[in-house]
Amino acid sequence: MNAGAFAAALLDRTAPCPPGLRSWNGSAVAQRFAVYRNNFAVSLVEALADSFPVLRELVGAAFFRTLADAYVRRVPPRSPALAWYGADFPDFVAAFPAASGVPYLADVARLEYVRILAFHAADAAPLPAAALAAALRKPEQLPALRLQLHPSIAVLASPFAVVSLWAAHQGLTAIAAVDPFRPECALVARCGDSVEVTAIPSAAVRFIAALQAGAVLGEAVAQAASPSASFDPAACLGLLIGRQLLAGPAGQQGGSP
């Protein structure tokens, strides 16, 4: 039996049972395959519901099933690990015609998938306080300081109130008080065994992204600066230090502090 034909029939509920299938007890193969095909789709829809619970609450269970089922039929898993399934689900949501009237849904889904990545990111020991203190005692060298961030860190800038929408569905704030069309930026990181979502300024997003790209401290501060908004690098660094999100050794460009 051709594996490609089997996979195609599995994803297309209108396709006939692929040729060459046999059952061990001689029972109706087409009926058994239809049950298997349905269970396959249902399991993937349920996996998406587990990964995107806030999106599901926002649109309702029935609409979410329709949305997720359409995605499953078009985008089958590429990995046996269902935790990773749905990487491009946010883009699918953004392009789904029936969801176009609620434009913030895709960014809420992006935030939820970033949380999954943060949860499964590698561990890293926090930067020892002594190493950080030694670096801070040499202010003239701070612009050349290279900081390594925890692997779980991600930032998301959105024209919508994604942090507040997420928080409301955790019971942390009232959904009625949220203006979904207020721009917000999120810092997502695993602290201990939990993944935290924190609202940060847009300048902090640029600062953290620059550090992740390998910029030294002075370069990251320069990239974060904006004529239209002030940036306090000390506050952002304080947040990262307080959450133990600086990892590994801190060193100057080309050497140790």
Task: Tell me the domain boundaries of the chain.
Answer: 1-102, 120-257
CA atoms of 167 and 147, how far apart (whole Å): 29
Amino acid at 43: S
Can you give the pTM of this predicted structure? 0.86
Asked whether 222 and 252 are in contact (CB, 8 A), the reply is: no
CA atoms of 106 and 193, how far apart (whole Å): 26
Position 137 scores a pLDDT of 86
Query: What are the two backbone dihedrals, phi and then psi, of residue 94, each rounded to the nearest 5 degrees?
Result: -60, -30
Q: Which of 116, 172, 147 is nearest to 240 (CA)?
A: 147
Q: In sequence order, which ranges of 25-82 are alpha helices (DSSP H)?
A: 29-51, 53-59, 61-74
CA atoms of 39 and 21, how far apart (whole Å): 18
CATH code for the part of the protein at 120-257: 3.90.930
CB count in 10 Å sphere of residue 195: 19
Q: For residue 22, what is the DSSP state?
A: -
CA atoms of 132 and 126, how far apart (whole Å): 10
Position 38 scores a pLDDT of 78
Amino acid at 117: L
Amino acid at 68: A
The pLDDT tens digits along the chain (257 residues) read 556 667 777 777 666 777 766 665 666 776 677 776 778 889 999 999 999 999 999 999 999 999 999 999 899 898 888 889 999 999 999 999 999 999 999 999 999 999 999 999 999 999 888 888 888 888 898 999 999 999 999 999 999 999 999 999 999 989 999 999 999 999 999 998 899 999 999 999 999 999 999 999 999 999 999 887 789 999 999 999 999 999 965 444 433 33
Position 88 scores a pLDDT of 96
Q: Which of 238, 202, 240, 206 is nearest to 221 (CA)?
A: 206
Position 22 scores a pLDDT of 67
Asked whether 160 and 178 are in contact (CB, 8 A), the reply is: no
